[in-house]
Structure 1
Amino acid sequence: MATWRGVSTPALSLILTLILVLGGCQLAGPSPDEDASGPAETTETSRPAAATEAPDPGTGPTDEESDASKNEDLWAAMRRGFALDHEPNHPRVRSEIAALCRYPNYLPSMSERLKLYMPHVFKAVSARGLPTEIALLPIVESAMNPDAEAVRGPTGMWQIIPATGDRLGLPRNAWFDGRRDPVMSTRAALDYLESGHARLKDWRLAIVAYNTGEGVVLRALSARGRDADFWSLSLPYHGRQFVPRLLALAALVAEPGRCGFKLPELGTREPFVTLNTGGVISIPDTARALNMSEEHLYALNPGLNRALTPPEGPHQLHLPGTLAAAARVWIAGLDTRPTTPSGEQRVTIRPGDSLSAIARRHGTDVSTLRALNGLRSDFLRAGASLLVPGNRSVSASARRTESRDARQQTSAARSAGRSESHVVRAGDTLWSLARAYRVSLQSLVVTNKLTPQTVLRIGQRLRIPSR
């Protein structure tokens, strides 16, 4: 547990309370004019004072001082930056518009994620002078879900595969996955898109290359001739649908109210700032100190796999702007840095131990042990140590590991010719599931004896057709 330098607990509580109250008046988060599009620069030092080296979000305007131009309607701002021909009358775009129109609440169903992440994505796209249609790509890719993991390994709201993430410099280990971090993944995705556009000289080609891989597009161009356009290329199914789907979504954003398609209320001001932590800090302890829920803190920092920030970095945390000053006091007052997540303990592996035996002894499961320790196999060495969870719920990283295991079983079932199924969760639509499983909407509808207009029920089991 963290200790504080020369400050009693009651006094500390009073200080934090005053800062939180004052911070609510002074810190409204960054204005659209400020540059918060990248992760805070960190230093490899353990001194807590490093937390004060990050840009001060308190220099932004207060809520009372802000006007519409500083937190304007994001959709209106996005329309001004549209630069692509949406071609709403092209048969493939028209078909995607019709599919989206069957789900008028598609965007409202993900409104909480849009509020958390879209302002940063939009600002990052605009800062580079790119067509703002690109800000809609994470919606098409993952419904703006940083925890999304597709069948073949793409992860995060930008659906970046491991090899691409490694090439783009995104950290990925048992502690942290940069593909899920909203700032890091956005920077990497836009780097990839800009690089593709520089080579392919066409945004449609660059966008489909983002989805299929540049090699697929180059081979398709070679087969049709270098002067071929996107519409004439022979591409995999998901690639053929990707650009029309983006153009369809952009067309509906450009013409709000068309076919009853709804846009949730969304402002341009980013809901978080990035703070340099100067070293390892505990997420549960930080949430308690700032009087915010762990769930909210993890939602702002979806790249974290553990209850601690990574020992090797990045030493940063995304926080609501109104809590940044209080967070600096919390971090600067830390005498010691935690080494084991709160509620977890380290045990020594005995001769003959297996993960299943250790899991039984400590009332947990193998998936949780794999996630906590970043294990890629079940091999254990006697005398080595292993982290085991305390009396708390299964971590998000454990759920991700279980999800990976389930996907591997699904892949094996598909290879063996067996059908797979999906249990409907909140926010699922026939359209989003068809994309996630790389099948056509029509085949999904026919297989389950539904219509494209069917509203899914949470808990409903759907059969996924073979491809």
Structure 2
Amino acid sequence: MTHHTLRQRLYGFAGSCALMGALLPPMVEAANLSAGQDPFAASPAPTESTSSRRSPADTHASGFWGELALHPGDAWQRLRANFAWQDQWRADAGHDRVQYWIDEYSSGPRNIAAITRRARPWLSWIIQQVEARGLPGEIALVPFIESSFDPEARSHRGASGLWQIMPRTGEALGLSRNRHWDGRLDVVRSTQAALDYIEMQADQWYEGNIELSLAAYNAGAGTVNQARRAARARGQSGDYWDLDLPSETMDYVPKLLAIAAIIAEPDRYGVTLPDIHGGPAFARVPVTRRISLDEAASLADVSRQRLGELNTGLRTGIAHPHQVEELLVPAGKAQPLLAALRTPSSSSSSGQNSIHVVQRGETLSSIASAHSVAMNDLARWNGLEHPDTLQPGQQLTLSDR
């Protein structure tokens, strides 16, 4: 059973050779999904399953899409229509391995229902991304086994986010991180990066074979390539089901197929899936001026907690256009915030938010940190050739406008 990418993708966004060299180690840790630690297996509190928890934080993104142009309807129906592997695994060598995980997961239907409820804000959009790339619909369910669909999931090995991306891999894929921002926690950017990576590895190493790329996503291309060579030396074809891999990776694709099989026929397994509309769950609003999440929540008429849950990449309560390009807001709530960001606020036009008066003991670094801007930008905006010569009472502009 294989599925191949529909096209060869370009790898130039980080330099093909350098990027692939950086990504040979495992991209992710599969959220500790070894036996006994699976998020679906008998865990009375599935929200505490695979990784240490964090309180909702905040986010960022890339270009204004407005309301997402998803087809209306039921997200589960759309997902099932894109499943590509469900008729194949039952007759394949992996049948027993998949059936084992179907039995395991279906023994805890409430856990699956809880995780699918957590997927509600993201699933329709992720299905759209997977569909647009011509990938099997099953790929939209990778976050189930990686993070239990928790955008703030963190593993003890350092993997973070919905797709459990490791720091080094995130940097290679352009997911920057600092104390204000972590692109691995941003659902929009991390999803795009993870799908790019899955397709890129499939084309680079495996003639478009997505199953092998998923194995490499979990264990690293070096591990998978070595296992393929060993399988071929034994006279086997070297596809995923032939490989002798770490136990977590041996279970990786079977778990994915098992979850998809249950979602394909939830009644058969006693699972009740929450209603998830196929239409837009969120909209993306460009950040054109410095704005706090408290202010944005008030303008959009949503709770601060809800806005933080949608913007988990933002690690502080302030979005600045030099660090954050977009905010996500619930669908239907974008226009008031968009209008406010297009029109300078009274405090901004009077200079209250755009000017900082230097106090005794302050440094350019401390001022930049307090206002969530880069120190180099602050120096450039104010023409400071010697940033260490600030004087009390000196006024600094906090933007390039």
The answer to whether residue 248 in structure 2 is matched with residue 238 in structure 1 is yes
Correspondence for 1:215 among 222, 237, 244: 222
Amino acid at match of 1:72: G
2:396 aligned residue: none
| TM-score normalised by the chain length of structure 2 | 0.67
Decide whether the 8 Å contact of 2:288 with 2:321 is kept in 1: no
Amino acid at match of 1:212: A
1:257 aligned residue: 267
1:407 aligned residue: none
Correspondence for 1:298 among 305, 308, 311: 308
Decide whether the 8 Å contact of 1:107 with 1:264 is kept in 2: no
Decide whether the 8 Å contact of 1:171 with 1:177 is kept in 2: yes
Partners of 2:290 and 2:373 lie apart in 1 by 17
What's the CA shift for 1:174? Answer: 1.1
Q: Percent identity at matched positions? A: 33
Within a 5 Å distance, the mapping from 1:33-432 to structure 2 comes to 39-41=61-63, 54-57=64-67, 70-85=71-86, 87-88=89-90, 90-198=95-203, 199-201=205-207, 202-225=209-232, 227-310=237-320, 312-335=322-345, 336=348
**More RCO (CA 8 Å, sep 6+):** 2
Partners of 1:55 and 1:75 lie apart in 2 by 23
Partners of 1:80 and 1:220 lie apart in 2 by 33
Amino acid at match of 1:197: A
Summarize the Cα distance change of 1:175–1:296 in structure 2 as closer, same or farther, 3 Å threshold. Answer: same
Summarize the Cα distance change of 1:255–1:311 in structure 2 as closer, same or farther, 3 Å threshold. Answer: same
Summarize the Cα distance change of 1:57–1:165 in structure 2 as closer, same or farther, 3 Å threshold. Answer: same
Summarize the Cα distance change of 1:190–1:338 in structure 2 as closer, same or farther, 3 Å threshold. Answer: farther
Runs of 5+ in structure 1 lacking a partner? 1-37, 42-53, 61-68, 341-345, 351-368, 375-382, 384-467
Summarize the Cα distance change of 1:163–1:302 in structure 2 as closer, same or farther, 3 Å threshold. Answer: same
Question: Runs of 4 or more off by more than 4 Å in structure 1?
Answer: 337-340, 346-350
Runs of 5+ in structure 2 lacking a partner? 1-59, 364-368, 375-387, 389-401
Partners of 1:112 and 1:255 lie apart in 2 by 17
Amino acid at match of 2:169: T
Amino acid at match of 1:200: Y
Decide whether the 8 Å contact of 2:121 with 2:281 is kept in 1: yes
What's the CA shift for 1:55? Answer: 4.5
Decide whether the 8 Å contact of 1:286 with 1:330 is kept in 2: no
1:214-257 CA distances to partner (integer Å, 9 max, x unpaired)?
11111111222283121221211211111110011111112221
1:355 aligned residue: none
Partners of 1:311 and 1:40 lie apart in 2 by 11
1:150-206 CA distances to partner (integer Å, 9 max, x unpaired)?
111110010010111111111211111111111101100000011122131322111
Summarize the Cα distance change of 1:282–1:373 in structure 2 as closer, same or farther, 3 Å threshold. Answer: closer
What's the CA shift for 1:270? Answer: 2.2
Decide whether the 8 Å contact of 2:215 with 2:249 is kept in 1: yes
Decide whether the 8 Å contact of 1:208 with 1:239 is kept in 2: yes
